Every structure is written in C-alpha cells, then in structure tokens.
Structure 1
Amino acid sequence: MRLIAAAALVAALPMAACESSSPAPSASMITRPAVAVTPHTPIPEPSVPAASVPGATTPATTGPPTDAQPLGAPYCAATDVALSLENAGGAAGSIYAPIDFTNITARACALFGYPAVSLAVGDPPLSIGPAGEQTTDGEPQQVILGPGAVAHATVRYTQAGNFDCEHAPAEYLLIYPPNQTAAVTLPFDVDVCVQPPIALLHVDYVKPGTAN
C-alpha cells in the first residue's frame, strides 16, 4: 500500500532536486477523503527501539510557540481544529498537499505562522528523515478562524526517487499546528531519503480558506 503523494505546498517554490526520468505521479495516486483526526500530545517513548526502523527517531516537539501574540482571539490549540488533506497535485517530481485546519469549536481562534511537519512511521509514529523546512516566500499573517472556518498551509513533498539515496517507507505526515506542542498525524504513504538524510518536505505559512 504505497501512495506517492498526499495533499499540497506552495506552487512557486524551487525544487531542490534534479529532475527524475520517471513521470510525475498523478493526483489520484494520493487522493484521500478529508477526515478529522484526533490530536495527541507529543509521542511517548516508542514500544520498539527506533533503530528497528531505518532512519526513524522519536519525534521531537518541532512546533514551539513563537514570540508573536495573537490579536483578537487565542491561538488555536490542536484540539480546536480538525486537520485534513486536500487532494494532492503533482508537478515536476513534487507533490503539493494543502493541510486544512477547520475550527471545530464554538469560538474564534487564531493561527499564525508555520505548522511543523515531518514524515513518520510506526505505532506510535516515529519521525523518519529530516523535518520539513519552512518556505521564505512572503510574510505570515495572522488568520482568525470563526467557528467552522478553514485555513490551510501547503506542504511540498519532493519525491525520494529524484535523489541518489537509501529509501525507506513513511506512513504518516506528523503535523504540529502553529504555536502548539501537540501533534496530529494524517496518512501519507511516500518514500523517505534516510541515507544520506535529505529534507523532502517544505511547508508554507497558514493562509485563509482552502487552497482549491
């Protein structure tokens, strides 16, 4: 069960990899229904040693709060928002996968900045490969989400096949909402470069509405 894609990042980002001779995957390869998932606190010590999974490590809390203070509403906690992936699209060896954040509470909350993302595998999920890198295109703006409102942040996954590296399978996208230390996982079946470790994920800052 291997999908080579999952839902999307900023289309204008440069690609860090040389072009692959194999065709780019179609969006249908990673099309998933949008599903709300249950947030969890930072993952405890795994029940199996991380060394049993090539390149896997116990995930660190990669989404520490920023110094910026919200205006008009408190930050959205991981339990305030349901996360889902929009249908992915591919281009030149990359997959663009927007993460939707839907406010499921009866009050407004704020999102500001970048979510922290990484690929993960196992149960409990272990981070595998380098964490996602932030894009530098534009300046983040605070997004106020009323009840039921949606914002998104786009993730770009560059295919591991574009690189000369040892591959390992990932099963999930591990996501820390901006300014939060509790993570959410979404299914994301792709390959990871573990040796040498190569950052295959780039993430954009949160923007209002959906990407599509």
Structure 2
Amino acid sequence: MFLHSRHLSRRVAIASATALLTGGAAAGAAWATTAAAAPAGPRTCTVSDLYVSMGRKEGAAGSLYWPIRFTNTGTTGCALRGYPGVSVLDAAQHRMGAAATRTGGAVSTVTLAPAHSASAVIRTTNGPVGGPCQATGTYLRVYPPASRTAVLVPAGWKVCSGTFRVAPVTR
C-alpha cells in the first residue's frame, strides 16, 4: 500500500506539472488518477471471520452435490473470490485420494455482510459409474479461497469414479 500511494502521488505530481505547462489541459488527468485511488472494497475473509459448514446433499443425473457454506461471523464485511481447496480425510485426519479439482463457470467476488453466507459446491458421481468408490471419509479439509489455513468440517463424503470437483464460491 505504501509503495502504491507513493507511486500514485508521483503520478499526480507529474499530471499537475503537465497541467501547469499546458495551461490546464491535463488537469482532468490528475483528477482521474486521484479518483482511481479509492479503496477497492472489503478485505478478504480469513478463517477467523468464517464459520464453515455443509449444506444439504443432493443427487441429480448420476452426480452427488454438496455445498460448502462460508458464513461471515465477523462484525464487518469481507469478501471471498475463487475456489476453496477441498480434500477428504479419514478419522485419523489423513488425506484420502487427491484433492478436488476446479470446475465451473466464471469466478466473481462475493461480498459477505456479517451473518451472511456464500457457498461452493463439491461434486462426485452417485455411485461407481466408470470406476470404484473410495471409502467414506470422516472430514473435509477446506481452505477458503485465498487462505493458507484450513478448517476441518465433519462430513461423511465418498469419492466415486475418480470424480471429485469443486466449483467457485457463489452467492
């Protein structure tokens, strides 16, 4: 932030000097540069801001879907953008198989007011379609988007046919 502010100040100074030399023609450029310095929005949610839980499992068209819910427990708004990291763990908290791969549409920033939620959906096949099922896990290890800290969520989840996908966070 400090380097950006110093860089921005230098740009404003250059634009102002140009305005003086050209009789004010670049004054609008100085204002446009200053307006661009406005805050970009709420800060990124951290694990300490969030309560991570599971929604309701649903099956459709040979797949099993389960939303991971991220609820803002803080007193100020925060934002999530992108994909969570998700893996299945056994009762001893050892990873079972590969982590979920990313799938889905466009990524957008979801702003969470206090007590509001967003979710990301995980998917596997609904039974052994084209391959066997792993043993049922006891937990999901979930890394919220842009976080290097995980949350363990009690969740019985079984990956089938080598399909384990996660979609980006959405409202």
TM value normalised by structure 2: 0.70
Match of 1:147 in 2: 114
Displacement of 1:160: 5.1
Displacement of 1:144: 1.2
2:58 to 89, 110, 124: 89
Displacement of 1:88: 1.1
Structure 1 vs Structure 2 CA RMSD: 2.0
Opposite residue 108 of structure 2, the aligned amino acid is: Q
Q: 1:166 to 1:202 in 2, by over 3 A?
A: closer
Opposite residue 147 of structure 1, the aligned amino acid is: P
Structure 1 unmatched ranges of 5 or more = 1-69
Identity, % of aligned positions:
36
Displacement of 1:192: 4.1
Please tell me whether Structure 1 or Structure 2 has the larger radius of gyration of its CA atoms: 2
Q: 1:161 to 1:190 in 2, by over 3 A?
A: farther
TM value normalised by structure 1: 0.57
Q: 1:86 to 1:190 in 2, by over 3 A?
A: closer
Q: In 2, distance between residues paired with 1:162 and 1:188?
A: 22
Match of 1:50 in 2: none
Match of 1:133 in 2: 101
Instruction: Answer yes or no: is the 8 Å Cα contact 2:124–2:159 preserved in 1.
Output: no
Match of 1:206 in 2: 169
Structure 2 unmatched ranges of 5 or more = 1-38
The 5 A counterparts of 1:42-191 are 71-123=40-92, 125-135=93-103, 137-159=104-126, 161-165=128-132, 167-191=134-158
Opposite residue 201 of structure 1, the aligned amino acid is: F
Q: In 2, distance between residues paired with 1:152 and 1:80?
A: 15
Instruction: Answer yes or no: is the 8 Å Cα contact 2:133–2:162 preserved in 1.
Output: no
Q: In 2, distance between residues paired with 1:202 and 1:184?
A: 18
Aligned residue pairs total: 133
Instruction: Answer yes or no: is the 8 Å Cα contact 2:59–2:126 preserved in 1.
Output: no
Displacement of 1:149: 1.4
Opposite residue 166 of structure 2, the aligned amino acid is: V
